[in-house]
Structure 1
């Protein structure tokens, strides 16, 4: 099985978020895909299959579970297709039959994802805040579609310096996929910063997360009164993307770098 490693949401190798992209010619069993994703160990591995013309199915597996949407693995998959075919517009169909329209824009790739609402939550367990190392929060919300708790804090510096206790974090709450922590930017290069911790469903921290823009872009667009935004993920590897809110869609634009090409022996 042809397999690639791609660093997404970056122009530099060994930055951004690494994803594996597996090109499948026939359907694989779920268990096999899960074993492959666990073996590779990246936060996500994408399995793509050509269906017809410019349409592909896409499935995403973390080292632990299958998830319906993943921004950086979608970007990585599109990068491979655009590099190996003459196509400049493609469509992915995920496991929930959601269509993701993807366009090549010279060195960049534009992806259209759905927009999901968030809801206010009454409280966040003190054990979770302690595990994250957060003292004060500005806002707390929940994305039901993604099963993600979103916390806004005051300082981008504090966000960058978070060093969670992941054992305590995973024991502080049940039934979610992850916790996203965000803060307004302290520089002109970005509108907001964020980090995503998800030991419940994937790895401890996702280096650069595109899928959370399904709700995070609308949150900051509403708060900042603008529809076009620049986002910065202040993880160890760092990563950047631009987003635009279009009613029921969010456009996510980023770059990616191919770092490995090989064969996975099944």
Structure 2
């Protein structure tokens, strides 16, 4: 009986629950963090992510050539990178006293990326941007439940941009972001056709302190909408440098307003003209407790 109890206990997985990209310790996007898990299959990690119920859960290991190796799972399966879960990982390690302020590296399916831990938050490097043409505006507008003019009136293109994960970036006229009526099946179909994670929709802000307000839809991965998307924010920063604000190096993005979970995401772009040399995304996180998942 004791051996059975021991084996059972070994399958209890402790998950740290963290709100990433919080605004004054409220809002944000929740992620799960599992530190130094036992050997787990991809199916078991997916099941843990499903039981946690957040858009992503990160599994953190000691790296061989890096400080850490991190795997990211949604309730539907593995993804190469997750910005808000990366923020959650390093915020958790710092809050537990396992990391001092400084520079670290993480091995992800999107490559080896640098992460800076400081007294006021975490800043992560992302991959350099890869850009390609997006879907037809008429198809995107239909999937969002708006007229094409809401998009074309901005004078900006739709585009697929990746700084680790590809998203379809879609501009809408100011004041229209909260009026969207997304058709999740149509968004999933377009995401599948264009080999992307989902839609990242934005409107330029009338508030001088904020660059843009955003919404992110990724139903193909079981995420109808999420309140902060770090990977898509890095992609949007690159888009803004190319199409809207050339020469700018810092952007502050707000996301989650329509969900009642306002989040703030900082984006820093190092560029010379249209050539981008470095992409960084940062913010603050708030610890929200732990839970135990029994496999």
Taking structure 1 as the reference length, what is the TM-score of the superposition? 0.90
Q: 1:166 aligns with which of 184, 187, 205?
A: 184
Query: Shift in Å at residue 99 of structure 1?
Result: 1.4
2:119 counterpart of 1:102: no
Show the counterpart of 2:229: 209
Helix, strand or coil at the partner of 1:118:
strand
Tell me which structure has the larger Cα radius of gyration: 2
Q: 2:282 aligns with which of 253, 260, 265?
A: 253
For the structure 1 residues 68 and 54, does the alpha-carbon distance in structure 2 shift closer, same or farther, using more than 3 Å as the test? closer
Unaligned runs of 5+ in 2: 1-12, 271-275
Q: 1:79 aligns with which of 91, 95, 108?
A: 91
Q: Distance in 2 between matches of 1:107 and 1:87?
A: 13
Helix, strand or coil at the partner of 1:200:
helix
Retained in 2: the 8 A contact 1:47–1:58? yes
Retained in 1: the 8 A contact 2:88–2:285? yes
For the structure 1 residues 168 and 205, does the alpha-carbon distance in structure 2 shift closer, same or farther, using more than 3 Å as the test? same
Q: Distance in 2 between matches of 1:125 and 1:192?
A: 23
For the structure 1 residues 11 and 125, does the alpha-carbon distance in structure 2 shift closer, same or farther, using more than 3 Å as the test? closer
Q: Distance in 1 between matches of 2:237 and 2:190?
A: 27
Q: 1:224 aligns with which of 237, 245, 263?
A: 245
Show the counterpart of 1:43: 55
Q: Distance in 2 between matches of 1:260 and 1:163?
A: 34
Alignment of 1:43-192 (within 5 A): 43-51=55-63, 55-84=67-96, 85-89=98-102, 90-96=104-110, 98-121=111-134, 123-126=136-139, 128-135=140-147, 136=149, 137=151, 138-143=156-161, 146-155=165-174, 157-171=175-189, 174-175=192-193, 176-192=196-212
Query: Shift in Å at residue 52 of structure 1?
Result: 6.0
Helix, strand or coil at the partner of 1:197:
strand
Unaligned runs of 5+ in 1: none
Q: After superposing the two structures, state which structure 1 stretch, 248-257 or 166-175, moved more.
A: 166-175
Q: Deviations over 1:177-219 (max 9, x none)?
A: 2111112111112112211111012310121100113321111
For the structure 1 residues 99 and 245, does the alpha-carbon distance in structure 2 shift closer, same or farther, using more than 3 Å as the test? same
2:32 counterpart of 1:20: yes
Bigger helix share: 2
For the structure 1 residues 117 and 9, does the alpha-carbon distance in structure 2 shift closer, same or farther, using more than 3 Å as the test? same
Retained in 2: the 8 A contact 1:198–1:204? yes
Q: Deviations over 1:105-156 (max 9, x none)?
A: 2121111111212223462443x4223122221321113663422111121x
Report the aligned-residue RMSD.
2.2
Aligned length: 263
Q: Distance in 2 between matches of 1:173 and 1:257?
A: 31
Q: Distance in 2 between matches of 1:53 and 1:131?
A: 43
Q: Distance in 2 between matches of 1:25 and 1:41?
A: 18
Helix, strand or coil at the partner of 2:122:
strand
